[in-house]
Structure formats: C-alpha cells, structure tokens
Amino acid sequence: MIFMNIILQKISVALLFTGLTLGSTAVQAQTGNQEGGSKGKGALVRKVDYTECITNSLLGIPGGSPCLTMSQEKYVLTPSGNAMSVWQGTVAATARPSKRRVYNSTWNETDQRGVFHSYTTVAVTSSDGSIKLTLTDKKDADGNSTGNGNGRGKGKDKM
C-alpha cells in the first residue's frame, strides 16, 4: 500500500511537471500602451501595416502626382524622444530614375501627444521603382529637435 502511494505521488508529480512544461507559452508583459510598444526604459517599436499618401516634396520624384502611397515599415520612439519612421513604396514606371537616386529633405510636425518633431529625411529611389523613405528626429539633452526645422519638404538631390 505504501509502495503504491509513493508510485502514485511520483507519477502525479511527473504528469503535473510535464503538463506545465508542455502547456506553457511565452508571455510578454502588457504595457497598457495602445500602440503595442514599450513604456519604461526601452524604445517603442511599432511594426504595423499602415499606409499613407506621402507628399512628393519628401520624395523628390519629378512630375507625376503630388503624393505616393507608401507603407510604414517601422516606427521607433526612444525614451529620450528620438524618433525614426521608415516607409516603403513603388514609383510609377514613368517616374523611375535611370540610376539610384538619393533625396534629402526635412519635415516638421506635431504628433498626437503635442510633441514637436523636426525630421531629417532621406528618400532612396532605385531604378526598379522601389523607394524607401527614412525620417529621423534626434533630440538634444533638453529634448529639443536637432533637425534644421526649415519646414515641409525643402529638399536636395544627390545622384
């Protein structure tokens, strides 16, 4: 009888351990942040399917429409206030450059929280029509944007 109880206890413990091990899943802490990012010491990194018609003044695409529909690939916001946004798109065949083209510009905006951002932008257009736009806002020690703040899409070409 005692022998049976010991065997049953060992089997029960083994089954419980196995069940807990097999049934466990990776769980990440919820931050209460609707954007799905991090509060605290880490950066907010948002990877979502989001499209927007990006103004041509940031892209430097000659002719064509005043904007290009692009998908946001990544958005990063650090605790120090630095922000980076990366967008991807495809340029119409008639507006594609014969070789890789880099277009530098600036963009100013105030986000939903009322925080001012002065972005330095780089748009890289390839001859196959793919275009990648990166907007970067660096903050100084006082939390002010270090971008030049010249406005909306004042750009320069680099071929």
Q: How does strand 156-158 pair with strand 83-90?
A: unpaired
Residue 12: its H or E element: helix 2-23
Contact 57, 121 (CB under 8 A): no
User: What was the pLDDT predicted at 98?
Assistant: 93
Tell me the whole-structure pTM to 2 decimals: 0.64
CA angle 135, 67, 47 (to 5 degrees): 45
What sign for the dihedral angle of Cα 49, 50, 51, 56? negative
Two tokens, residue 123: 């748009």
Contact 111, 98 (CB under 8 A): no
Compute mean pLDDT per 10 residues along the chain, 159 residues long, and list them.
61 49 40 44 75 92 87 89 91 92 93 86 96 90 58 47
Lookup result for tokens 């799905």:
36
Contact 123, 105 (CB under 8 A): yes
